[in-house]
Amino acid sequence: MTAPAYKRIMLKLSGEALMGDDSYGINRATIERIVAEVAEVVRMGVQVGVVIGGGNIFRGVAPGAVGMDRATADYMGMLATVMNALALQDAMRCIGLQSRVQTALAIEAVAEPYIRGKAIRYLEEGKVVIFGAGTGNPFFTTDTAAALRGMEVGAEIVLKATKVDGVYTDDPKTNPDAMRYQQLSFDEAIMRNLKVMDATALALCRDQKMPLAVFSIFKAGALKRVVMGEDEGTKVYC
């Protein structure tokens, strides 16, 4: 069998995608399907870190947060990602996939704090490490957390599993004429203001020479294909 292209990956899972066809929250069938795909690459010997978003539960810049102090709204958003992290861990437990949740905000009764060395040890042991609470700082996103944690634990690539199947010339949800890139550079993504990932995360990846792949979380087998180095989604290179 061909070996995976990467030994250690940092997977950013869209919070909003966890809703499935529901209007908010976590859709059980969706989370089970995503976890099964993660389990498949873990079985191939790939070490997997996961950063989970929070858009399905709370988004700091959502209409509901209008008038709210931005930092407070962002802390609420980060707590939402911890809820998703716990749900993800539970779904992994149900299929016998070992995982640990570490959070950037201290919530001792719920999960252990983020400790880089421990996270690396867990990855080496073949456990999935789920990083909750983003970076732990307001005014950031979980995309940036994925880039940051990916660099800290020595991942070879950041994989953004999202609602669209790659990076387009414009938002494909609003512009039907948008064309998908097979690959593009970080400089081009930043210069063209392609909003599939926030600019802070893109700049961090570019500066640290961390490649990024963007693909659809809804496409069966896409995660495995990216991990095998096959042509899937969009690859953003330095």
Which of 9, 167, 213, 223 touches ligand ATP by CB under 6 A?
A: 167
Cα distance between the two ends of the chain: 30
Q: How far is the CB of 58 from ligand LLZGTKA7 (least distance, A)?
A: 6
Per CB under 6 A, the segment of 55-63, 182-190, 200-208, 225-233 that binds ligand LLZGTKA7 is 55-63
3-state DSSP assignment of residue 215: strand
SS3 content of the chain, % helix, strand, coil (to 5): 40, 20, 45
Residue 53 interacting with ligand LLZGTKA7 (CB under 6 A): yes
Which of 118, 163, 219, 225 touches ligand ATP by CB under 6 A?
A: 163
| φ, ψ dihedrals at 145, nearest 5° | -60, -40
Q: How far is the CB of 106 from ligand LLZGTKA7 (least distance, A)?
A: 15
Residue 59 interacting with ligand LLZGTKA7 (CB under 6 A): yes
Residue 150 interacting with ligand LLZGTKA7 (CB under 6 A): no
- Yes or no: say if 155 and 205 are a contact pair by the CB < 8 Å rule: no
Cα distances (Å, whole numbers) of residue 23 to 17, 53, 89, 161:
11, 16, 22, 19
Instruction: Indicate which of ligand LLZGTKA7, ligand ATP, none lies near residue 194 (CB less than 5 to 8 Å, by partner kind).
Output: ligand ATP
